[in-house]
Structure 1
Amino acid sequence: MSELAIKSAKYIKSHILEIQFSDDHIKLVDFAPFIFSNGHPDYEIYKSESEFLKFDLIDGNLNWDDYTMIFPVEDLYKNKLTK
């Protein structure tokens, strides 16, 4: 498989994004279980939906606040977010 990247991310509701990947695969990813169960102080801000929605798409990856929160593209593709 060629290097996987994110083409687009669209807000659905709450902490759920519809993510389209470079191979045109589309996945709904719910970030709430990760954010609300992690316990790391850096992620507390993203419990607020308005703060969660302040992500950027940089170099084919979702990025929150200058890399405060970022996930491997392959994990998003598999919908397997880990602590």
Structure 2
Amino acid sequence: MKIVEEPIVDYQIKIAVTGTVILDNYKLQITFNDETKTIVDFESFLKNSQHPAIKKYLDKTNFRNFEIVDGNINWNDYDMIFPVEDLKKGQIS
């Protein structure tokens, strides 16, 4: 009897944030694991939000205080986070 094992191939590549550069105001240049880069402007999202937990990020010190956690941009322990696919498209809502 011959046993052949085939490796399991995951054909879905998980999109992940690997780096960011703070540009001006509320713009970030985001680099992804496929080496693409996208510029995302968060200003209109922040200004149009009515929620105080989001409005506090109009303070640039708060906005610039984020981490990359598990391939995503994370503000204050998941206080503000966006789908990575939206970040890659450059369209947040």
Superposition TM-score tier, normalisation by shorter sequence: over 0.9
- Alpha-carbon separation, structure 1, partners of 2:50 and 2:20: 25
> Comparing both structures, which one devotes a greater share of its residues to helix?
1
User: Counterpart of 1:54?
Assistant: 65
Q: Which portions of structure 1, spanning 4 or more consecutive aligned residues, are displaced by more than 2 angstroms?
A: none
Higher strand share: 1
* Percent of pairs with identical residues: 37
Normalised by the length of structure 1, the TM-score is 0.95
Separation in 2 of the partners of 1:50 and 1:75?
A: 23
State the partner residue of 1:12: 23
CA RMSD of aligned residues (A): 0.8
Q: How much does 1:66 deviate?
A: 0.4
- Aligned equivalents of 1:44 and 1:35: distance in 2? 6
Bigger-Rg structure (1/2): 2
Q: How far apart, CA to CA, are the structure 2 residues paired with 1:49 and 1:63?
A: 15
TM-score normalised to structure 2 length: 0.85
